[in-house]
Amino acid sequence: MRKGLPKKGLSKEEIIQRLNEYCRDDADPFSGKLFTIAFEPGVEELRAVAFEVLKMFAFKNMLDFTEFPSMIRMEKDLIDIASSLVHGDEQVTGTFTFGGTESVFLAVKAARDRFILSRGMITIPEIVMPVTGHPCYDKAAEYMGLKVKRVRVDEESLTADPDAINEAITENTAMIVGSTPNWPFGTIDPIKDLAEIALDKNIWMHVDACVGGFVLPFMKKLGENIPEFDFRIEGVCSISMDPHKYAYTPIGASIVLFRKKFYKMFSQYANIRWPGYPIVNPAVLSSRSEALLAAAWAILHFLGEEGYMELAKKLVSARNKIVKGLKEIGYKIMGEPSVIAAFTSDELNLFTLCDEMAKKGWLFLPQKGIANMNIPPSVHLTITPIHDDLSDLMISDLKVCTEAVKKMPPREAEGLLEMFGTIFSMLVPGEMDLATLGKILSDMERMVNVYGERILKILGLEKGFPKEMGMIYQLLASLPPEIAELLTNYVVIEIFSRGI
Ligand SMILES: Cc1ncc(COP(=O)(O)O)c(C=O)c1O
């Protein structure tokens, strides 16, 4: 039965108690045991500053910046700081958003509109990017009517291959994307080469520095080998960079920078056609709390250049220790790691390895790879400054888990695969055109009614998400992606609607 509102309101104490109960299965983002999803510097005072500022601004709405001009001032400061890190000149401008995905949406909209206006909407505009690019580009493309071409990367370095990118470009290409670094492997694309192609062909070049924007400049100062990726390169039109990643601000903070104000015009939305107030939205959302912008402002000013240099030192030290440890155990490192390192193994089931590490409290992220591009399954590690103190412990646990997994018999995923194979037997992987997908979708509702509960049970999801997800990841890796996407969407809707 659905819960309604409580008849009588709860006290503050009751509320905290109830919410603490809801948090019972949450990971601790400050623990340093997470090697994905959390960007933890290990600086406790920083949190106190953020919490105080979140309180100050939680109920102020950025929708009406005429009423809350503090928002304009704080955003200007953040754009200036971000711009100075990536060598923007006085023309560079930008927008504060609630996340990398939203920043990317704005960049994609700007690139698309510029393309349409300059060439006429003859066809569907395309984004060309290395296969390692983040899915938020596919998402933006799906929302805004573009198409993404994912291009193979150099197999050794796992960075964009400029020749392959060049070959994929057609007269419909509206945007080229390179990542500094990409999420799966932490390798940095050769932005100079990509921007040269973009400039030559008059295509929008976006640099995805969501991960690296606030940390690579400091690592470069420490003497790390970081290739140039910013506005000093002529063809670069926009850069996204996220304070909520390596600037360590509360979640919900990103920035997209545009080379000039005119480019930003394409990203913004205005509407003066209805009987209500004039709308001018610099970002995707309309009403937005000012709290996250203020918290980002606060943390950047709290740490300052010296703070970020100190944290970069710790981060590099943690990464070096971890990479050394991984090599000693016998793992192969994927390309050249930056702040993210990924490793693979020919002999071990990496999905099982992640589960074994989860039992010891460590959160690793298994990745399926792409067989037809010679990218093997791997494990992703987001390394943060707090790991400097924890890397020895992590590596020693990893040694133990590696030995344990070596001795385990192969896991029985076959039963599951057989069942899904039967359900989806009408499909020929690789031949999933729109008509086939349409058929799957129309059969989906019936299949879900018949098999839904069983699917959840077999996957061990009927009580919510388990800590050990290896089996599920492995299953998803072995299904055609279109089917895996339908399945994950179903499972997530089901679990969310049960609230478990
Ligand atoms: C390279 C890259 N770009 C974009 C994004 C999207 O960022 P967000 O999760 O903040 O929307 C991510 C997220 O990890 C990323 O790694």
Residues of the chain with CATH 3.90.1150.10: 304-407
Cis peptide before 181 (omega within 30 of 0): yes
Does 441 have pLDDT greater than 80?
Answer: no
Mean pLDDT of 327-355: 97
The string of DSSP codes covering 281-331 is: ESSS-SS-BSHHHHHHHHHHHHHHHHHHHHHHHHHHHHHHHHHHHHHHHTP
> Chain-wide mean pLDDT for the chain?
93
Residue 427 has pLDDT above 70, yes or no: no
- How does residue 417 score in pLDDT terms, banded at 50, 70 and 90? low
CB of 184 sitting under 6 A from ligand 1: no
Helix (H) or strand (E) holding 442: helix 434-458
Higher-confidence position of 267 and 425: 267
Residue 416's pLDDT band (boundaries 50, 70, 90)? low
Smallest CA-to-CA distance from 179 within 219, 148, 207 is with 207
Place of tokens 């089931």: 349
Q: Has residue 469 got a pLDDT over 70?
A: yes
Question: Residue whose CA is closest, atom 8 of ligand 1?
Answer: 100
The answer to whether 207 touches 180, Cβ cutoff 8 Å, is yes
Give the pLDDT confidence of 242-269 residue by residue, as tens digits. 999 999 999 999 999 999 999 999 999 9
Pull the structure tokens for residue 165: 């990118």
Phi, psi of 497 (to 5 degrees): -75, -20
Q: How far is CA 310 from CA 39, 306, 488, in A?
A: 15, 6, 40
Q: 332: which strand partners? A: 344
- Say what the pLDDT of residue 10 is: 98
**DSSP assignment of 115-174, as one string?**
HHHHH-S-S--EEEEETTS-THHHHHHHHHT-EEEEE-B-TTT-SB-HHHHHHH--TTEE
How many angstroms does the Cα of residue 240 sit away from the middle of ligand 1? Answer: 9
Q: Does ligand 1 lie within 6 Å of residue 100's CB atom?
A: yes
The alpha carbon of 119 and the centre of ligand 1 are apart by a number of angstroms equal to: 30
Checking if the pLDDT of 345 tops 60, the result is yes
Q: In terms of CATH, what superfamily is 304-407?
A: Aspartate Aminotransferase, domain 1 (3.90.1150.10)
Check: CB of residue 288 under 8 Å from CB of residue 98.
Answer: yes
Tell which one of 39, 180, 242 to mutate to probe ligand 1, the residue whose CB is within 8 A of the most ligand atoms.
Answer: 242
Whose C-alpha lies nearest to ligand 1, atom 6?
100
Ligand 1 center to residue 427 CA distance, Å?
Answer: 32
Residue % of the chain over a pLDDT of 70: 95
Please give the distance, rounded to the nearest whole angstrom, from the Cα atom of residue 210 to the centre of ligand 1.
Answer: 6
pLDDT of residue 27: 94
Nearest-angstrom CA–CA distance, 476 and 158:
23
Please give the DSSP secondary-structure letter assigned to residue 462.
Answer: B
- Predicted confidence (pLDDT) at residue 330 exceeds the cutoff of 60: yes
Question: Considering only CA atoms, which of 198, 173, 305 is closest in space to residue 259?
Answer: 198
Write down the pTM of the prediction.
0.94
Neighbours of 234 (CB within 10 A): 12
Residue 419 has pLDDT above 80, yes or no: no
pLDDT of residue 3: 87
pLDDT band at residue 449, thresholds of 50, 70 and 90? confident
Pick among 3.60.70.12, 3.40.640.10, 3.40.50.920, 3.30.420.40: CATH of 54-297: 3.40.640.10
Cα 177 to ligand 1 centroid, rounded to whole Å: 13
Give per-residue burial for 28-39: e unless 16+ CB within 10 Å, then b.
eeeebbbbeebb
Tell me the mean pLDDT in the region 82-98: 98
pLDDT digits (tens, 9 = 90+) for 480-489: 888 888 888 8
Q: Is the CB of 189 under 6 A from ligand 1?
A: no
Q: Which of 87-91, 160-164, 226-230, 439-443 has the lowest mean pLDDT?
A: 439-443
pLDDT value for 437: 72
The pLDDT, as a whole number, for residue 490 is 86
Closest to 260 in 3D by CA, of 89, 102, 77, 107: 89
Question: CB atoms < 10 A from the CB of 131, how many?
Answer: 17
For a substitution probing ligand 1, which of 108, 136, 185 has the most ligand atoms within 8 Å of its CB? Answer: 136
C-alpha span between 208 and 245 (Å, rounded): 13
Ligand 1 atom closest to the CA of 244, numbered from 1:
10
Interatomic CA distance for residues 475 and 411, integer angstroms: 11
pLDDT of residue 82: 98
Give the number of other Cβ atoms within 10 Å of residue 487's Cβ: 21
The reported pLDDT for the residue numbered 16 is 98
Atom of ligand 1 nearest to the CA of 245: 10
Tell me what pLDDT residue 430 has: 55
- pLDDT mean over 224-238: 97
Residue 293 has pLDDT above 90, yes or no: yes
99 lines ligand 1 (CB under 6 A): yes
Give the bridge partners for 207, in sequence order: 178, 239
402 membership: H or E segment, kind and range: helix 387-407
Q: Quick check: helix, strand or coil at residue 37?
A: coil
Q: Where in the chain is the domain with CATH 3.40.640.10?
A: 54-297
Q: How far apart are CA 249 and CA 39, in angstroms?
A: 9
Cα of 445 vs centre of ligand 1, distance in Å, is: 32
